[in-house]
Amino acid sequence: MAPQYTDNLFYNSQYRYQNDIGMENMGMESMGMNTNNTMPNNTKGPIIRTADIKDKVYLGLNIFCILYFFIPLIWICFYKNWYIIKQRNFALTMVGGIGAFLSAFSNLIAQNMDVSCAFSYYSSTIFSFISQICFVSRAFRLILLYKVNVYKVTELNQEKFIQKSKDGAVMEPNIYYKSIYKAVNKRVVYFLIPFLIMLNVALTIYLHRTIDRDNKCTWSSAVNIYEKIVSHSVGNNDENNLLTKGKSNIMELFKVPRYNAFLFIILDFIIVFIFLFSEIRDDQRFGIKFDCFSNAVLSLITHIIRMLLNYEGIKNKFINDPSNIMYKFNDYTKNGVLLFVFTELYIQLTSVIIPLIKCINAKKMDKKYANEPTNSMQYFYKILNSPTLVEELKNIAIQEFVVENVLFWENYCTLHKLVARAKRKHENNRGYEGSSNVSGGDRYRYGYGYMHEYGNHSSSSPDDESYDPNFPLIPQLVPYFNSFYHTFIDINGPAAVNITGDCIRRIYHDFYTYPTVGIFDEAKDEVVESMYFSIFPCLLQQNRRQLGNILH
């Protein structure tokens, strides 16, 4: 997760800045204090510093930062509909990437040019919050959607589907889990995240206007802020205490980023804990679990280092000693600020660049094997007719958050088998029902007895023997088709698949006019096509050689 530039990161420098612009009024010179390092440079010169080698290095880093962030962010827009990107949520990835860029760039550019107090305040409060809230949300989205898909596999397997349908009970959606998918994919992305960002911006502006009534922290009178940060971190505490006796307590301005930091530290710790002690799987190398988990770990480490650098006991014992390695570390990292820049760069790598590379490689593989039999739809149907490989597809689908498609296929195959057996029973039952010596209970057992026969022969392939899609839906099959509809077709169902609205309307219309056993065939074609373009490529990438044997 993206770290927050908090604690007293800019607080100490602001007091130096405050005294730069009002030194005479405060009478600091009369105290005999050295103000050479705190007075702003009023001499006209280049806006961007390039005098020494260090300035040139930072200038190169700023140019690299712009290219490093913007080229992948623009490039990834061409793959926004690919499941590799959808798995991470394109909107959260894009907004978080822009926030990470603004956060990193605002800290790097301050190494090459003087920046104002207000710029430091708003960049530390707003930009990093945008980056942080987006990537924290992506992590919790992964955790919740994984649990939702595991729930679907547990509650909507073939045995429970058959039992509930046979008992005449339509599959009732679990309200809690059903609401999670809509919450994390829609409400959080399109409502909660924008609301939190606007709230953060409004609170930041409000505190600036309310606390800084003396107008000390302005957009003008820029200073070399990071020189002051490092200067304060190794400076004289008595002098710093005198400097904090100004008219405006600017430290109050940085309560928002400080509170944000504590909040996100707690959230990062929760994320790390869940990933360590839960069964969330990610079979892909550098997949989304690696992305979220490693970002949270790096964020926590960076925050700990930052807190240690500002802990008074460590400062007095190590950082104030020029001969100590901690003194050099504090100077090179600008009191830990550049560690946060590194973390933002790492987030861009795992969240944008690596998924982009995966999309590009997948596209190359598709072109390379475009004419191979393994890339055909007919081959995919062979995969779907293998129970073992369907289980592998199901494991992939859980990680891709589309397990309802595999469950749809399994239960669609169940319906096919029920149709074949019911058709035979129905034909025999015509003569059986004509007997006046048959009781209602015997007729029930005979009419529905094929269910016990089916239970011992379940598989992941449809029974196409004498299948006629135009065969009328007989009463014995209605409970199963009704349960299937409310589970997978109804948009409010517990495992609704992503099919077109026209397809849903046609199914609904046919159900109440002239239902046939082929009523779900069009939906099946759309679901199979969706799996073919989403989870099947993942299966091919992992087992292309082994899967080639299926053709023989």
What percentage of the chain exceeds 70 in pLDDT?
67
Q: What are phi and psi of 33, to 5 degrees?
A: -85, 150
Per-residue confidence (pLDDT) for residue 449, from 0 to 100: 46
pTM over 0.95: no
Per-residue confidence (pLDDT) for residue 450, from 0 to 100: 45
The sign of the dihedral angle between the CA atoms of 505, 508, 513, 516 is positive
Chain mean position to CA 8: 30
pLDDT at 231 > cutoff 60: no
pLDDT at 491 > cutoff 50: yes
More confident site: 58 or 282: 58
pLDDT at 63 > cutoff 90: yes
Burial class (CB in 10 A: 0-12, 13-18, 19+), 26: middle
Residues 78-82 have a mean pLDDT of 87
pLDDT at 130 > cutoff 60: yes
- What six digits make up the tokens of 263? 């909040």
More confident site: 219 or 6: 219
Residues 271-289 have a mean pLDDT of 82
Q: For domain 373-551, give the CATH number.
A: 1.10.167.10
- What six digits make up the tokens of 500? 């077109």
Per-residue confidence (pLDDT) for residue 67, from 0 to 100: 95
Mapping DSSP to helix (H, G, I), strand (E, B) and coil, where does residue 87 land? Answer: coil
Q: Would you kindly state where each structural domain of the chain is located, as residue ranges? A: 11-41+53-368, 373-551
pLDDT category at 33 given cuts 50, 70, 90 is very low
Cα–Cα dist 506/525, whole Å: 14
pLDDT at 131 > cutoff 70: yes
pLDDT at 524 > cutoff 80: yes
Per-residue confidence (pLDDT) for residue 445, from 0 to 100: 42
> How many distinct helices (H) and strands (E) make up the chain?
26, 0
Q: What is the pLDDT of residues 399-429, one digit of tens each?
A: 788 888 999 998 898 888 888 887 777 667 6
Per-residue confidence (pLDDT) for residue 21, from 0 to 100: 39
Chain mean position to CA 442: 55
User: Which residue, chain included where needed, has tokens 């679901």?
Assistant: 527
Of 215-229, 495-509, 526-540, give the lowest mean pLDDT range. 215-229
- For residue 256, which amino acid is it? V
pLDDT at 354 > cutoff 90: yes
Per-residue confidence (pLDDT) for residue 440, from 0 to 100: 43
pLDDT at 48 > cutoff 60: yes
pLDDT category at 36 given cuts 50, 70, 90 is very low
Q: What is the pLDDT of residues 169-192, one digit of tens each?
A: 555 445 555 566 666 666 677 788
Per-residue confidence (pLDDT) for residue 272, from 0 to 100: 92
Of 142-146, 261-265, 305-309, give the lowest mean pLDDT range. 305-309
More confident site: 42 or 221: 221
Name the nearest CA neighbour of 126 among 202, 215, 69.
202
Cα–Cα dist 459/475, whole Å: 24
| Phi-psi domain of 247 (left: phi exceeds 0; alpha: psi -120 through 50; beta: other) | alpha
Q: What are phi and psi of 281, to 5 degrees?
A: -110, 155
Identity of the highest mean pLDDT range in 75-79, 307-311, 331-335, 364-368: 75-79
Chain mean position to CA 543: 27
Per-residue confidence (pLDDT) for residue 483, from 0 to 100: 85
- What six digits make up the tokens of 269? 């710790």
pLDDT at 89 > cutoff 90: no
460 contacts 413 by C-beta, under 8 angstroms: yes
C-alpha angle 17/19/25, rounded to 5°?
Answer: 150
pLDDT at 94 > cutoff 70: yes
**Average pLDDT over the chain, rounded to an integer:** 74
Residues 135-151 have a mean pLDDT of 83
- For residue 520, which amino acid is it? F
Cα–Cα dist 363/78, whole Å: 12
Residues 365-391 have a mean pLDDT of 82
120 contacts 10 by C-beta, under 8 angstroms: yes
**Residues composing the chain:** 552
Residues 100-121 have a mean pLDDT of 84
